[in-house]
Amino acid sequence: MIDHKATLMDEKDFWRNEKVAFLALATVKGVGFWTIHKIAQARLGFKDLLKEPEVAGVAKPFIDAGVEGVKGQEQLWAVGLAEARRLASNGITMLFKDEPGFPAKLRSIPDAPEWIFVQGNLENLRRPAVAIVGTRKPSEDGLFLTRFAVAALSRSQIVTVSGLALGIDQIAHSESIRYRIPTVAVLGTGILQDYPKGSEKLRSEILLAGGTVITEYLPSQSYSAENFVRRNRLQAAIGDVLIPAEWKVKSGTAHTVKFAHNYGKRIVNLCLPDANAISPEITFSQEIYGATTLTIPFDVQALVAIAQLIKTDVEPLPSTQGSSPVASPSLNRQETSGPQEPPTAEPDLFSPGELDSRQLPLI
C-alpha cells in the first residue's frame, strides 16, 4: 500500500527545497530573470543546480560571486534560506507552475508563468474576476466610467483585477476597496519593490481588505517596459472579463486587450452616449477582437448581466483530503501534453516556523 501522507510530505519537502535554492540563485550577480526562466523551462532542479551550476551554464557567475566548493554552496544556501524567511515574514507565498495549488487560470495560458509570488489571499486568483485596466493619464470620462463599472459590479460576487499603476488601475483598486470587492494587483516589478512610488499605502489597503498582490518577477527585480507588457498577460489571464476603461490603440492597455482576446476572454468597452463614434479604439477592438461595447448609463443592466454570466463555480482551494500523491518533479519533470488533472496537495506557504525547524540541508 502506498503511504499517501508520506508521499505528500516528500512532495512538500521537495518544493520547499526548490524554493530556497531558487531564491539563492536569484541573489547571484549575473543570474537574472531570463536565465532562471530558461532553467525552469528546461525542468532542471534548482537544488541540484546549486551543486552543479555548469549543467545550466551558470558556473562563471558562481565563480565570480565566490561560490566555489561545498563551503560556497552552503553559504549560498544560507542566503536562500534567509530570503525565504524574509518573504515568509511579509506573508509572501511562492508557487511553481508544476506545484500543487498553482492557480489554474495562470497554468492554462500558453505562456504561463513558471512561478509566481503572492501576497494576500491566494483564493482570489481562483474566483470569478473582472479585469479593469486603462491609461495612466485618464480623462474625467475615463475616471467616471471606471468608478461606474466598479459600483455596478459591487453586488456581483466577483473579484477585480488591475495593475496598481497610476490612473485607471489605482482607481479600480481603490473603488473596489470602497465597495468591499476583493481586488488583485498584478505587479510589473518584484514583490519587494515599491512601485509606482507612493503606492505602498494603497497596496496595504488592498491586503487589509482581503485582496491580493501577485507578480512573476524576482523579489527585488526593478521595472522595465518589457516587464509591464508581460505583466499585462497575467491581468488578462486572471480576469474572466476585461474592461479597458480608457485606452488607445497603441498603448500598454492595448497589449492587455490582445492577450485577453488570445486567451478567449470577453472584452467589454464602456463609453458615454455618442462617444463611440469618436473612439477609434472601440471600433478597432470590435472589428479585430469581437469586443462588446456598452453605453453608460443606459446599458448598466447588461454590464451586471455579463458579470453574472462569468463561471460561478469557483476553483476550489487545494485539499489533501482523499487525494492521491503528485508525482515528484525530482523524478518526473518533463513536459506533459493534454489536459491535466488539477493537483490536490495544499501549497507550501513558506511558514517561518517550518523553515526554522527543518533547516533544509543542502546535501
Give the pLDDT mean for 308-333: 43
| Whole-number Å distance between alpha carbons of 181 and 57 | 46
Cβ atoms of 25 and 36 closer than 8 Å = yes
Bridge-partner residues for 95, per DSSP?
A: 116
Could you give the residue range(s) of every CATH 3.40.50.450 domain in the chain?
Answer: 119-295
Determine the topology of domain 119-295 in CATH.
Answer: Rossmann fold (3.40.50)
Q: How far is CA 293 from CA 238, 273, 306, in A?
A: 21, 11, 12
pLDDT for residue 337 is more than 50: no
Closest CA relative to residue 117, chosen from 216, 187, 229, 221: 216
pLDDT at 311: 55
Of the chain, the percentage scoring pLDDT greater than 90 comes to 76
In which band, very low, low, confident or very high, does the pLDDT at 6 lie, cut at 50, 70 and 90? low
Closest CA relative to residue 189, chosen from 220, 232, 234: 220
pLDDT at 8: 64
Number of Cβ atoms within 10 Å of the Cβ of 232 = 24
Where would I find the H helices in 239-345? 252-262, 280-289, 300-309
pLDDT for residue 359 is more than 70: no
pLDDT for residue 261 is more than 90: yes
Strand order in the sheet with 115-120: 92-96, 115-120, 212-215, 183-186, 159-162, 129-134, 241-246, 266-271, 292-295
**CA atoms 193, 196, 197, 201: torsion sign:** negative
